Structure 1
Amino acid sequence: MSLDIERAEETQFPTSTNVDNTKLEDATPPKRKINWLLIAMNVTCVGLGTIGGPLMVRLYFLHGGSKRWLSSWLQTAGFPILLGPLSFLYMKHRARGQRFFAEPKLMIASAVIGVIIGLDNFMYSHGLSVLPVSTSSLLFSTQLAFTAFFALIIVRQRFTPYSVNAVVLMTLGSVLLGLRKGGDRPANVSNGEYMVGFIITIGAAALIGFVLPCVELAYAKASKAITYPVVLQFQLGVTFFATVFSTIGMIAHKDFSAISREAKAYTIGEAKYYLVIVWGAILFQLVYIGSLGLVFCTSSLFTGVVTATLLPLTEIAAVIFFKEKFTGEKGMSLALCLWGFMSYFYGAYIMERKQRKAQEEEPK
């Protein structure tokens, strides 16, 4: 693990006062070395969290859990996990006399983004409390369309026909679910509650689609080079302030005092209640570690594509573990999402070949 951290910290994000100069061409940055080890680590974190996190939240609600603020709080409460690698890197930088701490304006940005993430987590938890995991996951994959839209406006993301095709296909895959709204509605959920959950989940997808380009903009606008230790500090700030936001909501609704009562009444046992809570916090923390790390390594659009591709796998896991219905619409949605994923990466492969050929033809 320490070896991975040492390799990761060598990667730097170029800084500029003009975002266009630092923009990545879809997934392949032309002006800086790609750290494939760091990308693999972050994709793994996103994968584990994106698939496992929603399953833990739905498991919490299925067996007697009812506190939406607690569920949203758990999505970022695992931030102390970051203190381990940060402490290691701090001691290493201090011994070498190197700069370690992130600049104040970057941490202010992390605080603002953290509050937005806190709101997004509550909206996502509300959706999961009434929707099947398979439905909420595919609805949440619409975040790719929102990410593409906001990336175009905020960081001037350049698109290729392949990336546009990927966004359209993945968005259509999610829209298909709306054609059968209520068809997989849980027995204890009314039509009104189902539709509210449907709309709020789309809203949560839009909000996270706005956040990812904002993170990329914060990195690009930094006056000093963004190293991986700085990214970890940024992640710590985001998740800390998101947790503060959710903590205020929990205090207002007296959720902390209700935890012990809810645990005793949990239908599969008190011990499993706490296991669900702890593992939920860990898995969701992996999502934020991986997502913000991927923005650092590549771009907000690439991060959105990875997340949107993993969400259908969450659907499959929900069908396996929770025996949820796998309708024809869900099957078509899954196929469109996977098609979009392949389109995006084929486009990235073509762009990389063109860039490599252009570099080889340049006079030395």
Structure 2
Amino acid sequence: MSNTTSSHNHSHCINEQDQKAITNKRYLPLLLINYACLFVGSLSSSLLSKYYFNHKGSSRWVSTWVQSVGFPLLVIPIFLPYYLFKSTERKPFTHFTPKILALSIFIGLMLGLNNLLFSWGNSYLPVSTSSLLLSSQLVFNLILSVIIVKQKITFMNLNCVILLTLGSALLALESNHDRPQGLTRAKYFIGFIATIGAGLLFALYLPIMEMIYKKVYCYAMVMEMQLVMEIAATALASVGMAWDGGFAEMKREGREVFDKGERVYWATVLSNVVSWQLCFMGTAGMVFLTCSLTGGICMTALLVMNVLGGVLVYREEFGGVKAVSTVMCGWGFCSYVYGMYVKNKMKQLDPDLDHKQITNISPPNLIQMDQIVAPSPHHNGV
């Protein structure tokens, strides 16, 4: 009986392989939804975090805590399709093994540390500067993707990484001119290093998640793993909050410190909670549907929007160095997108083209939420 079931699942898996192509009608809408979540979440979370610090919010643990404490929102995409809408036959957390649970907890703790480093850097640096510095994660992402998931180095991804990294390096060389008034050189340096550290940790997070996602069964399982990771990150931040008196500090900040009033303070905190969940949900979906490098490049492209957002909302300086860095980031991303477009056209013209030559356009996992499909043994990631 088990052999029959295994054979049926294997046959079902083979029949479903064509649905992993980027031309599949089920794939593109979900990809666009995830990118929209990433776009809204990345831009709003960056601006809201800076808004908190600009108006006398000072707790980095509070800023870290809000990045993951919104995990109950993930109950919506996990439980509602099965219990309310009856749109899937898969019960939540089916085949959620102890190994996947342990990996999710470990990655969640790493994500919590990344959140702390981001908050530390964002408390000192302007939004535009921290956004451009975070683009340096791409060079780490490419190197780690080659090591962890055997990412193939091509002209388009190498060109994109070089341009984005040079843009960050150019910004770093001129960083002294961007230091806010009253901020010491030492604190600016701490913010600089913390932001680079956050980029490095996130670059490690992406290929590790791509490797793990090859073993999950469906998009719903990605959200389940994300829930566990966010709980672990929240636990870490909560310990830091309790140790540093952060919970009592939140009440005092809202009533006495935040210069926009208590009501605006809690609205800012709540908005931060929602925006960060959108950002992390979008990131997980992008890595699952494409690959870690593509997810990293899409996030870096959005950092350009964060730069412009910082200039427009907070009237941050936008001199020649930032302009050149922004152009280089945009140029690198456009070259990558064009390369993906060309490869997609090649695949459409020659459906039998060797899979290894077009891995940059094939999502590693089937996106249907209600079907359990094992990953192809020949799939090597993007």
Instruction: Pick the TM interval, shorter chain.
Output: 0.7 to 0.9
2:81–2:87: 8 Å Cα contact kept in structure 1? Answer: no
Match of 1:236 in 2: 227
CA–CA distance in structure 2, aligned partners of residues 30 and 94 of structure 1: 27
CA–CA distance in structure 2, aligned partners of residues 30 and 278 of structure 1: 38
2:175 is paired with a residue of what secondary structure? coil
When structure 1 is superposed on structure 2, of 153-162 and 117-126 the one drifting more is 153-162
Alignment of 1:101-180 (within 5 A): 101=93, 102-180=96-174
When structure 1 is superposed on structure 2, of 343-352 and 86-95 the one drifting more is 86-95
1:93–1:100: 8 Å Cα contact kept in structure 2? Answer: no
2:41–2:275: 8 Å Cα contact kept in structure 1? Answer: yes
Q: 1:250 aligns with which of 238, 241, 258?
A: 241
CA–CA distance in structure 2, aligned partners of residues 32 and 106 of structure 1: 30
Q: CA RMSD in A?
A: 2.2
CA–CA distance in structure 2, aligned partners of residues 83 and 153 of structure 1: 34
Q: Deviations over 1:258-301 (max 9, x none)?
A: 11111122111111111111101110111110000111111001
1:58–1:128: 8 Å Cα contact kept in structure 2? Answer: yes
CA–CA distance in structure 1, aligned partners of residues 284 and 91 of structure 2: 21
1:58–1:133: 8 Å Cα contact kept in structure 2? Answer: yes
2:68 is paired with a residue of what secondary structure? coil
Alignment of 1:284-323 (within 5 A): 284-323=276-315
Match of 2:207 in 1: 213
**Distance verdict in 2 for CA 1:30–1:60, change over 3 Å:** same
CA–CA distance in structure 2, aligned partners of residues 243 and 96 of structure 1: 29
2:133–2:196: 8 Å Cα contact kept in structure 1? Answer: yes
CA–CA distance in structure 1, aligned partners of residues 273 and 264 of structure 2: 14
Counterpart check, 1:37 vs 2:29: yes
Aligned length: 335
2:47–2:310: 8 Å Cα contact kept in structure 1? Answer: yes
Shift of 1:97: 5.3
2:138–2:164: 8 Å Cα contact kept in structure 1? Answer: yes
CA–CA distance in structure 2, aligned partners of residues 96 and 333 of structure 1: 46
2:156–2:335: 8 Å Cα contact kept in structure 1? Answer: yes
1:131–1:197: 8 Å Cα contact kept in structure 2? Answer: yes
Q: Deviations over 1:9-58 (max 9, x none)?
A: xxxxx89xxxxxx9xxxxx9659947001110110011011111011111
1:29–1:298: 8 Å Cα contact kept in structure 2? Answer: no
Q: What percent of counterpart residues are identical?
A: 35
Gaps of 5+ in 2: 1-12, 355-382
**Distance verdict in 2 for CA 1:98–1:83, change over 3 Å:** closer
The residue identity in structure 2 corresponding to 1:237 is: V
Match of 2:73 in 1: 81
CA–CA distance in structure 2, aligned partners of residues 70 and 269 of structure 1: 17
Shift of 1:89: 2.5
Counterpart check, 1:226 vs 2:227: no
Shift of 1:98: 3.5
The residue identity in structure 1 corresponding to 2:138 is: L
Counterpart check, 1:267 vs 2:259: yes
CA–CA distance in structure 1, aligned partners of residues 309 and 169 of structure 2: 21
**Distance verdict in 2 for CA 1:111–1:177, change over 3 Å:** same
**Distance verdict in 2 for CA 1:354–1:137, change over 3 Å:** same
Gaps of 5+ in 1: 1-13, 16-21, 23-27
CA–CA distance in structure 2, aligned partners of residues 93 and 216 of structure 1: 29
CA–CA distance in structure 2, aligned partners of residues 96 and 55 of structure 1: 37
CA–CA distance in structure 1, aligned partners of residues 316 and 266 of structure 2: 24
Counterpart check, 1:343 vs 2:341: no
The residue identity in structure 2 corresponding to 1:325 is: E
1:116–1:242: 8 Å Cα contact kept in structure 2? Answer: yes
Question: Taking structure 1 as the reference length, what is the TM-score of the superposition?
Answer: 0.87
2:79–2:92: 8 Å Cα contact kept in structure 1? Answer: no
2:82–2:89: 8 Å Cα contact kept in structure 1? Answer: no
Match of 1:52 in 2: 44
Alignment of 1:57-76 (within 5 A): 57-76=49-68
Q: Deviations over 1:220-241 (max 9, x none)?
A: 2x2xx52111111011111111
Q: Deviations over 1:94-121 (max 9, x none)?
A: 8975454133322221111100000000
1:49–1:284: 8 Å Cα contact kept in structure 2? Answer: yes
CA–CA distance in structure 2, aligned partners of residues 199 and 361 of structure 1: 44
CA–CA distance in structure 1, aligned partners of residues 301 and 22 of structure 2: 27
